[in-house]
Structure 1
Amino acid sequence: MATRKRSKRKAPVSPTTLSGGDNSLNPRDAQRAASAPLARDKKSPRVRWFDDPLHRPNEFATIRDAIEGQARRFKDKTYLIYEEDGSEYSYRTLDAETSRNVNLFRALSASKHARIGILDANTPDFVFLYMGCMKGAYTSAPLNYHLKGPELQFCLENSESELLFVSTEFWSEIGKILDQIKFLKAIVIIGPKPPGLKLPILTSIAQFQRAAAKRQPNDLPPIVDFHKLRARIDTKIPRDHPRPTKETQGEIIYTSGTTGKPKGVLLRHHQFLTDAKYISRWYRMKPETRMMMILPLFHVNAEVVTTMTPLVYGGSVVMFKKFSATRFWPTVEKYKVNIFSTVPTILSILVAREHRYVGTSFELGVARNSRLPKALQKFSSHRKEQEARRLSSQEIRKEGCAAFCDITSLQCCICGAAPLPAEVQLEWERTFLVPTIEGYGLSETTCYSTFNPTDGSRKIATIGVEVGNEVAIFGSRNRRMPTGQMGEIVIRGENVMLEYFKRPEANVDAFSGGWFHSGDVGDVDADGFVRIRDRVKDMIIRGGENIYPREIDEVLYTHPEIENAATIGVPDKKYGEEVVSFVVLKGGKIPRGADAKSTTASIIDYCRERLANFKVPKTIEFITEIPKGPTGKLLRRALRDMAAGK
């Protein structure tokens, strides 16, 4: 009788047994290890600074489970408030409208797990489309509305999108690339017919089906009217429609492309719900907590922090179509907002407006007769009276300044997406006495991976401690660096992405050793607080010395005449690279002639007193604005082009 030879089963990869990166892992195992569940570690900084068990399982397995479950639980409670027109949408409405969109995708012939592009500003339609994609086990593909035609074409083509939903407001760039996106099954217009569009817009499913049946390979995709089609669509999903699982792809989101072509980040349902769980528990959010969305929905910050997180804990969100400095504080007052998520640029804008219209020595405080937030007690022991007003009270109120708004409901703001200069943070808090909790994350980690504690034990100029996932510092050959030593920030945990879509070479580098490599340089102190020094690719090597631009930028920010600054390295025959700093002076003025020479000398002398000689900028360039992406991320590549004269 023949005996069957038993094959050895391959042991699962367990990242929790690795003290550093395991270079023996093959690329696929390294990817799995980076997003595997972590074992409990009582020494972890997230345990030391936070007593809530973040390892507790998610309440919901998928986005569909979350939408349906919260609709049953909260029924007519408000989930979404649209600041633009004051309209409100309940959890029941969220459930119904997302189901309607699932059926619309089916009617437009979307295949199983199809990718669906969305090009719109922050609107209720965007929210229902975005969540509808995930509810129906499709993959949403939000598009940055700042992109130009060829960039949008790349994202649509690379993601293999089947449908594109585009608002009339952003049609112009799509109209330029119609001949290049014939692979789409349909283009759905949200809003009135765009100016200049000569093609007919179909208004019924029957018309779409006839057009699709007659369509030849070289024909343009049918163009259909979103609101007229969906008005005739049912809100009950058929039983035979596949339900998503926790491993189902929920989104493909494209990185900003600050280092080259954008990469498509694939995120699963489990990763969204896990990161939303980390955020809601870190900030101890309750169903009564009301958040405010001012960042664009094509970015994971808005998607996770102010869309998914309120869904997970059963709260409400006030959504701006686009950020408005004039309406910001009146909206906080009107809707009793508790928390908002932002980027440093917006903090600077709001502080500058308050100083311009009210005065620089006025500290508002969260309430005239209430206790100071614990997180700020060591920074402000008293409140100063307003020194002088440049406008009347009525005029200041018209400008939407905080000085004449009741913002007592505001508990804190969450800040990330770009480095937060210490001076910007402290100036914000001195002005409004609202704590800023800085955190850190990437699209590749579904949003946040670290936060500062909310109880006052935070550390200014750090990105906080790890939250739910694990954060380490690696040197060469994936070796863990000792406390206080600089290296690359690496992350592993259940919120780490699935992969870069169709970029195998990038995946090998990104997941080397079973950790996700962020590309950011930093260090961790003895208390577990992480400090970002710079981007690996932005590091300047001058005469063999490593220079991190952010260190120079932080010094420039403290100069009394400087509003904004950014530093880069430029090629140099003698040293390999030389240091150049781009500076925006307060008031946006550009000095000329002798004034420029004296101002340059003053700034360089200022740096020389605070930096090692090899770090001091050789050249100071005066500009009116630092180039940044739509989420406030500094575009050093644009500065390099400026330095090269492109």
Structure 2
Amino acid sequence: MPRKAAKKPPSSAKGRSKPVKRTGRSKTGDTRKVVEAGSQARPQEPKPASQPARLVMQPPLRRTSEIIRTRARFTDPMRAANEYSNVRDLIQGQAAKHGARTFLVFEDDGREYSFLQLDEQTTRAANVMLALGATRGARVALLVNNSPEYVFAWLGAMKAGLVAVPLSTDLSTDELRQALQDCGASLLLISREFWPRAEALRGELAGLQAVAFVGDGPQGVMLESTLPSAGLADPAKLYDFTACGRQASLELKTPVPHQWDEAQIAYTGRALPLPQGAILQQRQFLTSARCLSTAVGLNATDRLMCCLPLFHVNAQVPTLFAPLALGGSVVLFSEFSVSRFWPAVERYRVTAVSAVPAMLGILTERELEGARLARRDAAAGVWPACHESPGALRQQSDAAAREDGLARGHDISSLKSIVCGAAALPRPVQLAFEKCFLVPVLEGYSLAETTGFATLNPANGTRKIGSVGRPLGDKLAVWDESRPLRPLEGDWTHKSFLRANPAVFPTADTNQRGELCIWGEGTLKEYYSRPDVNPRVFAGGWFHSGDLGHMDADGFAYVLGRRGEFIERDGDFVSPREIDEVLMRHELVETSTTIGLPTADGSRQQVTTFVILRKDSFESGRDGGRLPASEEQRTDMLTRLKAFAALHLTEKKRPNAIVLAAQLPTDATGKTRVHILKRQGTDAYQRV
């Protein structure tokens, strides 16, 4: 039978239950007493006179922008403390901890250096620079190819409290003059390949005290190999940096740098009339390395590979400072080599690589081309099918693939992830690479001004293809440009109240387009000697990147392009990246770059897309089949590309003109130099 429900105690007139009787044993006997629970209660106070009921107003619903804006208030995004506070303590501490363990392997000749040797070599390099006349805070310019000596000189400058100024190796003579004059370099460390550009500039650099060659000197040039006494270097002589280093002391007597001392000036903005030098501080390198290592899941057993030039922050933090801080190791390339990439992964059991989109595209295209030939020789049919990848063709006995350095001829199972930044990573490139090599790519948003990656896609599987991920340590917000910000005034260094405690930031709504702004410990101190620029780029206490983008409801950021690269068309703004993403999905398109070029009368801009086709796209074509051999081929390709664009783009976003090219102007990292492309126009290429 169903149990009867228990009876509820009767309610009093006042809506309260009657006092409950409890029984208990007395202290003196076994007799039981009945105690009224409410007998000893305090007398009730008289009830106040009834008041008229008040209308309770519900708070209005908060907009998404207000919620995000509240989150953007000042909090310390770098709550975890670094183990070391400056570069000298980091190198010396890791040398004491790891000793003879290998830290650096030079892929070109197989040289290996331990943590202890790194400490010794950086100390020698620091003492050489001090002997050549550099004093605390002096700028040391480096125009050197990737090598262990570059690592020793670059870290040695920071170790001694100097300011390293790594320069791009593809600077022209005029650009080199601008950079050296702007930073006021006291020393110039240079490789012999770049001496013809710098030789004529020596007389124009008033503050330059000495020039030293890293590696062999130019043919027919006598180098001074004797280490001078401190501060007595002869400006007229050229010094052998390596030979002087052998004579340098292993004791560094300069004061230990402070964590907020300036460590590096990284020049960026080559499209500007005068590039800007971002000042980065000692602590920022350590913090950025820690945040990146945590996000990617790196530890002391990982071995990273550095194929990017060392003047680039994507090589400095992920593949040098991260393994140095963790106790891992790094394989250093003098330059990126597509034929030696996968053999090095197999030989050294590399676990992670920092790359740029151009590298991923080159590796994928070469692997696909080799696999197509292998499948064509092995069996009839078209390769790859929708379910196949070169991994299905992997054969360790395939001598031809192994000799060519293809991934299918090598064991690449140690490679866990690729970290990619510095430029927009097109979805087709990322998807093709991952399908080809079965290695995940973590795209991020990296700038010289943010000491590397400000955001990154998580490594735990919650990635979003096309997004640059979530903030790592710094805060990122999208500025609602309808609410203007006042430029900073007065002292706005990292210790300033305005800089360290920014006001509530006017953040845009979810998926609303605006300028990406970053605040946190990783952002630059300032642009060197730019008093007219700094207050504007730090308006509101946040660094304004100049990139437009938006953020979704999950906190993932999306970069749409630079502010000046958007194309105005019929009252609307067209994103070049959106057009490039679509065209690169075409089976014959390898690279696409869209820019806005003025019409003949200059009244408006027209959308112009430069396309590099894959090899053998044209039968008997020029430049490996990338360019047509006849007008009929040209017309047919134009029809196919226009039809493809019409399927995926609205009429406003379709390109007015398509230009076929065998190659486009790029920098040392493979990024297309849009400002040069705009200056050249279509005259230097073949219009379709």
Structure 1 CA distance for aligned equivalents of residues 390 and 192 of structure 2: 48
Structure 1 CA distance for aligned equivalents of residues 74 and 107 of structure 2: 39
| Residue aligning to 2:627 | 590
Change (3 A) 1:117 1:355: same
| Residue aligning to 1:38 | 75
- Unaligned 5+ runs, structure 1: 1-17, 23-33, 41-53, 213-219, 363-379
User: Equivalent of 1:231, from 232, 239, 246?
Assistant: 246
Change (3 A) 1:393 1:159: same
| Residue aligning to 1:205 | 227
Aligned pairs (5 A) from 1:628-643: 628-643=666-681
Structure 1 CA distance for aligned equivalents of residues 145 and 217 of structure 2: 17
Aligned pairs (5 A) from 1:161-560: 161-197=185-221, 200-206=222-228, 212=234, 221-238=236-253, 241-359=254-372, 386=392, 393-476=398-481, 477-478=484-485, 479-560=506-587
Cα deviation, residue 88, structure 1: 0.8
Cα deviation, residue 20, structure 1: 8.7
| Residues 303 and 330, structure 2, Cα contact 8 Å, conserved in 1 | yes
Report the residue type matching 1:234 in the other structure.
Answer: S
Change (3 A) 1:462 1:20: closer
Structure 2 CA distance for aligned equivalents of residues 405 and 253 of structure 1: 37
| Residues 565 and 583, structure 1, Cα contact 8 Å, conserved in 2 | yes
User: Equivalent of 1:137, from 158, 161, 168?
Assistant: 161
Q: Report the more deviating stretch, 188-197 or 129-138.
A: 188-197
Structure 1 CA distance for aligned equivalents of residues 388 and 220 of structure 2: 59
Q: In the TM superposition, what whole-angstrom CA distance separates every residue of 1:485-522 from its partner, at most 9, and x where no partner exists?
A: 11111111100000111112221221111111111111
Report the residue type matching 2:607 in the other structure.
Answer: V
Report the residue type matching 1:438 in the other structure.
Answer: E
Change (3 A) 1:499 1:598: same
1:578 aligns with 2:606: yes
1:115 aligns with 2:115: no
Change (3 A) 1:211 1:564: closer
Q: In the TM superposition, what whole-angstrom CA distance separates every residue of 1:441-499 from its partner, at most 9, and x where no partner exists?
A: 20000110111111111011111111111111113225321001111111111000001
- Percent identical: 36
Report the residue type matching 2:94 in the other structure.
Answer: Q
Structure 1 CA distance for aligned equivalents of residues 100 and 671 of structure 2: 38
| Residues 278 and 467, structure 1, Cα contact 8 Å, conserved in 2 | yes
- With the length of structure 2 as denominator, give the TM-score of the two structures: 0.80
Cα deviation, residue 349, structure 1: 1.0
Change (3 A) 1:402 1:388: closer
Q: Report the more deviating stretch, 632-641 or 590-599.
A: 590-599
Change (3 A) 1:113 1:385: closer
| Residue aligning to 1:104 | 128
Structure 1 CA distance for aligned equivalents of residues 609 and 464 of structure 2: 27
| Residues 524 and 530, structure 1, Cα contact 8 Å, conserved in 2 | yes
Cα deviation, residue 383, structure 1: 6.5
Q: Report the more deviating stretch, 104-113 or 173-182.
A: 173-182
Cα deviation, residue 115, structure 1: 0.7
1:599 aligns with 2:637: yes
Cα deviation, residue 107, structure 1: 1.1
Cα deviation, residue 94, structure 1: 0.8
Structure 2 CA distance for aligned equivalents of residues 20 and 251 of structure 1: 33
| Residues 134 and 140, structure 1, Cα contact 8 Å, conserved in 2 | yes
| Residue aligning to 2:593 | 566
Report the residue type matching 1:167 in the other structure.
Answer: S
| Residue aligning to 2:42 | none
Q: In the TM superposition, what whole-angstrom CA distance separates every residue of 1:328-367 from its partner, at most 9, and x where no partner exists?
A: 11110111100000011111111111112223898xxxxx
| Residues 478 and 551, structure 2, Cα contact 8 Å, conserved in 1 | yes
Structure 2 CA distance for aligned equivalents of residues 260 and 332 of structure 1: 41
Q: In the TM superposition, what whole-angstrom CA distance separates every residue of 1:522-577 from its partner, at most 9, and x where no partner exists?
A: 11111111111111110111121111111111111112221111111112358621
| Residue aligning to 1:372 | none
1:611 aligns with 2:633: no
Change (3 A) 1:627 1:392: farther
1:66 aligns with 2:93: no
SS of match in other structure, 1:126: helix
Cα deviation, residue 298, structure 1: 0.7
| Residues 417 and 632, structure 1, Cα contact 8 Å, conserved in 2 | no
Structure 1 CA distance for aligned equivalents of residues 74 and 303 of structure 2: 30
| Residues 326 and 400, structure 1, Cα contact 8 Å, conserved in 2 | yes
Q: Report the more deviating stretch, 92-101 or 477-486.
A: 477-486
User: Equivalent of 1:153, from 158, 170, 177?
Assistant: 177
| Residues 131 and 232, structure 2, Cα contact 8 Å, conserved in 1 | no
Report the residue type matching 2:635 in the other structure.
Answer: K
Cα deviation, residue 281, structure 1: 0.9
After the TM superposition, list the runs of 4 or more consecutive aligned residues in structure 1 that deviate by more than 4 angstroms.
Answer: 18-22, 206-211, 380-389
Choose between structure 1 and 2: higher helix proportion: 1
Report the residue type matching 1:319 in the other structure.
Answer: L
Structure 2 CA distance for aligned equivalents of residues 190 and 446 of structure 1: 26
Cα deviation, residue 169, structure 1: 2.8
Report the residue type matching 1:579 in the other structure.
Answer: V
Change (3 A) 1:130 1:385: closer
Report the residue type matching 2:413 in the other structure.
Answer: T
Cα deviation, residue 644, structure 1: 6.4
Structure 1 CA distance for aligned equivalents of residues 206 and 559 of structure 2: 44
Report the residue type matching 2:330 in the other structure.
Answer: V
Structure 2 CA distance for aligned equivalents of residues 483 and 209 of structure 1: 58
Structure 2 CA distance for aligned equivalents of residues 398 and 472 of structure 1: 48
| Residues 561 and 575, structure 2, Cα contact 8 Å, conserved in 1 | yes
Report the residue type matching 1:596 in the other structure.
Answer: R
Q: In the TM superposition, what whole-angstrom CA distance separates every residue of 1:205-241 from its partner, at most 9, and x where no partner exists?
A: 34897763xxxxxxx6421111221111111112xx1
Q: Report the more deviating stretch, 118-127 or 592-601.
A: 592-601
Calculate the aligned-residue CA RMSD, in Å.
2.6
Cα deviation, residue 385, structure 1: 7.3
Structure 1 CA distance for aligned equivalents of residues 454 and 422 of structure 2: 12
- With the length of structure 1 as denominator, give the TM-score of the two structures: 0.85
Cα deviation, residue 269, structure 1: 0.7
Structure 2 CA distance for aligned equivalents of residues 614 and 360 of structure 1: 40
Structure 1 CA distance for aligned equivalents of residues 532 and 69 of structure 2: 18
SS of match in other structure, 1:258: coil
| Residue aligning to 1:9 | none
SS of match in other structure, 1:449: strand
Change (3 A) 1:21 1:113: farther
| Residue aligning to 1:216 | none
Report the residue type matching 2:468 in the other structure.
Answer: I
Cα deviation, residue 632, structure 1: 2.4
